[in-house]
Amino acid sequence: MRPDWKRLEQAARDAAARAHCPYSRYRVGAALLTADGAIVTGCNVENASYGATLCAERVALARAIAEGHRAFAALVVAAGNVAPATPCGICRQVLAEFCPPAMPVRCVPLVDAGAPPVAITLGALLPHAFNLRASPPPKD
Ligand code: THU
């Protein structure tokens, strides 16, 4: 499934507009492309108990999984003004549970000013992801 980047970027920016971020005022939107061509979006959902905050990327992924998707082809994250933000460490690990290391990830600012996106792969964002199947515990 070849990503339609413009469409994914728009979906991620639209999702960021729906962020619930009264504490940080930092909007994040994520758009996941599934292997069968669907786009599933997420936004950050903050909480008064700060640690309960959900990142946009994990909201998109959990939503996609709950809708029955299991294979993913691309991710766009929209955040920040000039320099785009890349996914946090927890989100990288959670994405690695379902998405291949070769999956392309593009990070764009909230407003399109024509700057090139940060274009990277999940594997480059998180080399040596923790993988319980590759490194099972010893049998006793
Ligand atoms: N946030 C995300 O949604 N994704 C990330 O990868 C990093 C941070 C959110 C969490 C919080 O609502 C706000 O950005 C500031 O940390």
3-state secondary structure of 4: coil
46 a catalytic residue: no
Domain boundaries, the chain: 5-125
Ligand 1 pocket check for 28: Cβ under 6 Å? yes
pLDDT at 140: 78
The topology (CATH level 3) of 5-125 is Cytidine Deaminase; domain 2 (3.40.140)
Structure confidence by residue, pLDDT tens digits, 87-122:
999 999 999 999 999 999 999 999 999 889 999 999
CA of 52 relative to ligand 1 center, distance in Å: 12
Summarize pLDDT for 39-93 with one digit per residue, the tens. Answer: 999 999 999 999 999 999 999 999 999 999 999 999 999 999 988 999 999 999 9
* Ligand 1 nearest-atom number relative to CA 87: 6
Strand order in the sheet with 28-34: 39-43, 28-34, 72-79, 104-108, 118-121
Full-model pTM: 0.96
